[in-house]
Structures are given as C-alpha cells and as structure tokens.
Amino acid sequence: MEYVLIQRSGFREELLKNHAQLEKLGNEELVTSYNRQVEIGIVGVYSQAVFLAAMRFVFLKRFGMSPVEMEEGILLKLNKPVKLVKEEWVYVD
C-alpha cells in the first residue's frame, strides 16, 4: 500500500493538526489507529496521506521508528499490523 504525497496548499497546517490529535493518544490507541489504517488500506485520499505522515512523526518521536514508511520524502507506505510488546511495537506475523 503506497501513496505519493505531493504537498498542497495548507499541508503544514493539516499535518500539525493531525499531529496534535495523534500526540494525545496513548501508545495502545496509537497502535490501534495505525492498525485501522492498515485494515482500511491506502485509499488514495490526500487527507489520509497527510494523517499517515503525521502518524509517522508521532511513532518516530515515541518509539524511534515507525511502521509508516516514507521513501525519498514523498512515498508513504503501510506494512503489516503491529502490536505493543513492553514499550516497543513489533509487526504481527
């Protein structure tokens, strides 16, 4: 699942808004939100891509790594579902 994220007018504001909302979530809620996105899949909607970019930043800040991948600063990718193990997330096999 991939999305080429090309920034539009208002990108920064929307990203910061999503980031602020996601930062309020606990770790379990953040993982649940990510898993929901995996379940839905990338549907090609710009607002979802901005949400996933914000989610990536929150994961990186909390865990030092993110299941939302970004290649070359433009290509967003989702992987498998994740779960919390102690204070880290791991992919569900």
Domain span at residue 61 reads: 2-91
33/23 Cα distance (integer angstroms): 12
Length of the chain, in residues: 93
Q: Tens of pLDDT along 52-79?
A: 999 999 999 999 999 999 999 899 999 9
Whether the full predicted model's pTM is greater than 0.85, yes or no, is yes
Give the number of domains in the chain: 1
pLDDT-derived band at 93 (thresholds 50, 70, 90) equals confident
Is the distance from CB of 60 to CB of 67 less than 8 angstroms?
Answer: no
4/68 Cα distance (integer angstroms): 13
11/46 Cα distance (integer angstroms): 10
Q: Is 84 exposed, middle or buried (0-12, 13-18, 19+ CB in 10 A)?
A: middle
Is the model's pLDDT at 36 over the cut of 90?
yes
| Residue 51: HSE in the Cβ half-sphere, 13 Å Cα cutoff | 17
